Structure 1
Amino acid sequence: MTVSIRALLGACALGALATTAAAETTITVATVNNGDMVRMQSYMDDFYKMHPDIKVEWVTLEENILRQKVTTDIATKGGQFDVLTIGTYEVPIWGKQGWLVPLNDMPADYDVDDLLPAIRSGLTVDGNLYAAPFYGESSFVMYRKDLMEKAGLTMPDKPTWADITKAAEAMTDKDNGIYGICLRGKAGWGENMAFLSAMDNSMGGSWFNMDWQPQFDTAPWNETLTTYLDLMTKYGPPGASSNGFNENLALFQQGKCGMWMDATVAASFVTNPKDSTVADKVGFALAPNKEGIDKRANWLWAWTLGIPAGTKNEAAAKTFVEWATSKHYTELVAAKEGWANVPPGTRTSLYENPEYLKAAPFAQMTLESINAADPTHPSVMDVPYTGVQFVAIPEFQAIATAVGQQFSAALAGQMSADQALQSAQSLTEREMKKAGYIK
């Protein structure tokens, strides 16, 4: 009898352990090594307190590598990840293909209607929200107010490329390790080509005309690339062809850049005295335009969290996405890091919050830049595509990365601007013919 009871108790204990093990779900999140995403990983105690039955494993990668891995995984149904950090480019394309789980059933307190319309619309296909924005951004100019003052210049709120060139020259002091301007040079469709595509819009250009013919042999692209190379070779840091967002952020924080035009999300990092040696010296201006052209070089992007269709852990993945992109998470960051450091650019309520507006001197210019970007009319020319710093077609990722390699090589002095543009034109024509857009 005693043995039977012990056996029964043992069986019950094993059953309880099995139930506990089954109840704990492990999800794998693929994310980018940007500051906001790295910070989120340090706040997981809050998530586990609310959801002790879910364990999160992280795969944190450099931007170009992340894009390659998540694209391969979702296209091949590899099932390696349960949550993907993806952007405004991938979401509508993948959503239309049925590769992502719709997020139409977020709880009422998530407040989907609070998402900024410009950001939400870029993540919605046929009325379905396919990803939740972790942070949203446009682009603008960050500059050293002290160096501008020393040079006897004032940065306009709405500068032209001529203003930028003049300021870059005046602030450059290479003997003391200060470069007038830092811009993306690392090859990649989301690295140097994000910047250069937006810059080309501001010069009056476009990627394609209405017949899908590439436009690298036109005057605007010539002016874009030659102006960019001129700025970077005369006033930029050495080795710029290897610099992306994170490298330029470090340079600016170390006081080595007079100006940096990049994502608005960088503003909280360059004004945080814990990380930036020039935190109290930073001013902000809208992305520039060419005089007479009614488009600025500001893009529109959101890093978002999406769930691949077919994941075996959909419920747990949704729970994590809801937490990471909620008002609660914003308030958590504010409590720990201060309001200036919360993930920006996703919710209307943030830009109506007096505490945030007081703490973040860049808030209004960020919102103005986001609202000014128009993915449906990225160029002053009529174009057959949507997307500001990208073209929302599946082929763009590979084409723009190849073009970015040509332009990065030109920045490294391996070829001329004309050679890079000719190469970009021919390779883009070849791929567009292969894909059936042109004959």
Structure 2
Amino acid sequence: MTLKSLMLGACSTLALASVAQAQSTTLTIATVNNGDMIRMQSLTDDFTSKNPDIQLQWVTLEENVLRERVTTDIATKGGQYDVMTIGNYEVPIWAKQGWLLPLDNLGDNYKVDDLLPSIRSGLTYEGKLYAAPFYGESAMIMYRTDLFEKAGLTMPEDPSWEFIADAARKITDRDNNISGICLRGKAGWGENMAFLTALTNSFGGRWFDENWQPQFDQPEWKEALQFYVDLMKDAGPSGASSNGFNENLTLFQQGQCGMWMDATVAASFVSDPDNSTVADKVGYAIFPSKEGVDNNGNWLWSWNLAVPAGSSKAEAAQKFIAWATSQEYTELVADKEGWAAVPPGTRTSLYENEEYLKEPFAQPTLNAIQAANITEPSVKPVPYTGGQFVAIPEFQGLGTTVGQLFSAALAGQSSVDDALAQAQQVSVREMTRAGYIK
């Protein structure tokens, strides 16, 4: 071969490479900084190897920051992201406003009918799927079986808050840096207010009555919030008002919490011997109820992948979403890291898999999800849906404001009575301004 032909061949190769590079698509993906999402990022070579024309750029953010950024971007049509990680709170609201594209091109092998009905329904608007669930969750108790045994305690099948409070105080060991209970205290509608709304639901309370009148001046909220503040003072960790999901997960993994009530998705992390010092000492139970109130207050949540209407890369975005939320992705995680690590709570087939059901948290997770009733979150009638949130657009701002007031009460910066009075005042003002209260 002549030098000329070699040079022509090299030029042709470079030209082809330039064309391929020019034709490649880069997806910018906004996601939350939790363990399952971080794991997904580590496995995306599987996707890019199958789709060499698609490159991925990640924007990984803390939960409150993620919500703020994606909400601002989609509301202002900023176009920064091609795939957004959003919750089942946002999906139907944003779909109604025309801010999301329907996921109508996930491929023939996606198996939409395999999605758990309760999860799928929360992501559907006017018969169309507007987001695909990466994982689903409810809430449950995770507790140290060794500490319960040492204290002579047995976790009931359906525990009451009265039992939980007594147990938390008994297993608290300040000398050995063990708090009896860890609960969310960080301000945010999806942080402390997720827990506190579920707690108050289980006490028989509600955010609004049938006429959208705020209920923070009612006895159920006073009893629930006072119970929470007193319990955290007696048996919670120091600095609890700054602790959200990730902070409490770390405390539990390090053996510094006797009990933790939070998202069922945490179970795979607290039972992981590579990251949890108490992996072989964890038991699971359903979210508590108050004695005399027939309501466990279970929440229902899913982190989902959606395509904003402003994206010009919808086809590539749906390819990625189909990969990340498929049965095949579940099998990829199981192959790489074991069945305990797969994203839970989205597909019926996962809870029919005998290998997965061997995990001690698998059935309790499904039980918690199935126990959630977002259409009747309280024993009293309400004009809204949502377990740990109120499914109206105004809740995002209002929930965070109330969360800040309650976080301050937990930190001792205000009294419970003052926090509730301010929550009532701001809620009445905002609901009147929005037209719910005439």
For the aligned pair, the TM-score class normalised by the smaller chain equals over 0.9
Q: What is residue 384 of structure 1 aligned with on the other side?
A: 383
SS at match of 1:312: coil
Q: What is residue 139 of structure 1 aligned with on the other side?
A: 139
SS at match of 2:241: helix
**Structure 1 residue 161 displacement after superposition:** 0.3
Task: Name the aligned partner's letter for residue 309 of structure 2.
Answer: A
Q: 1:275-290 residue pairs with structure 2 within 5 A?
A: 275-290=275-290
**Structure 1 residue 16 displacement after superposition:** 3.0
Q: What is residue 406 of structure 2 aligned with on the other side?
A: 407
CA–CA separation in structure 2 for the residues paired with 1:339 and 1:424: 43
Q: What is residue 423 of structure 1 aligned with on the other side?
A: 422
CA–CA separation in structure 1 for the residues paired with 2:108 and 2:383: 37
**Structure 1 residue 13 displacement after superposition:** 6.3
Q: What is residue 375 of structure 1 aligned with on the other side?
A: 374
Structure 2 unmatched ranges of 5 or more: none
Q: Does 1:53 align with 2:53?
A: yes
Q: Does 1:231 align with 2:231?
A: yes
CA–CA separation in structure 2 for the residues paired with 1:11 and 1:353: 53
Q: What is residue 323 of structure 2 aligned with on the other side?
A: 323
CA–CA separation in structure 1 for the residues paired with 2:30 and 2:374: 26
CA–CA separation in structure 2 for the residues paired with 1:7 and 1:271: 59
**Structure 1 residue 21 displacement after superposition:** 2.1
Q: TM-score, normalised by structure 2?
A: 0.97
Contact 1:202 1:293 in 2 (8 A): yes
CA gap of 1:155–1:10, structure 2 versus 1, over 3 A, is closer
CA gap of 1:8–1:200, structure 2 versus 1, over 3 A, is same
SS at match of 1:302: strand
Question: Matched residue pairs, number?
Answer: 436
Contact 2:102 2:130 in 1 (8 A): yes
CA–CA separation in structure 2 for the residues paired with 1:75 and 1:190: 19
**Structure 1 residue 17 displacement after superposition:** 4.1
CA–CA separation in structure 2 for the residues paired with 1:18 and 1:154: 67
Q: What is residue 362 of structure 1 aligned with on the other side?
A: 361
Q: What is residue 99 of structure 2 aligned with on the other side?
A: 99
CA–CA separation in structure 2 for the residues paired with 1:14 and 1:332: 35
Q: What is residue 244 of structure 1 aligned with on the other side?
A: 244
**Structure 1 residue 8 displacement after superposition:** 9.2
Q: What is residue 337 of structure 1 aligned with on the other side?
A: 337
SS at match of 1:84: strand
Q: What is residue 116 of structure 2 aligned with on the other side?
A: 116
**Structure 1 residue 14 displacement after superposition:** 6.8
Contact 2:297 2:377 in 1 (8 A): no
Root mean square deviation of aligned Cα: 1.7
Contact 1:157 1:284 in 2 (8 A): no
Q: 1:41-190 residue pairs with structure 2 within 5 A?
A: 41-190=41-190
CA–CA separation in structure 2 for the residues paired with 1:40 and 1:377: 34
CA–CA separation in structure 2 for the residues paired with 1:117 and 1:71: 26
Task: Name the aligned partner's letter for residue 85 of structure 2.
Answer: T
CA gap of 1:5–1:370, structure 2 versus 1, over 3 A, is same
**Structure 1 residue 5 displacement after superposition:** 10
CA–CA separation in structure 2 for the residues paired with 1:46 and 1:15: 27
CA–CA separation in structure 2 for the residues paired with 1:366 and 1:164: 19
CA–CA separation in structure 2 for the residues paired with 1:173 and 1:29: 43
CA–CA separation in structure 2 for the residues paired with 1:58 and 1:290: 43
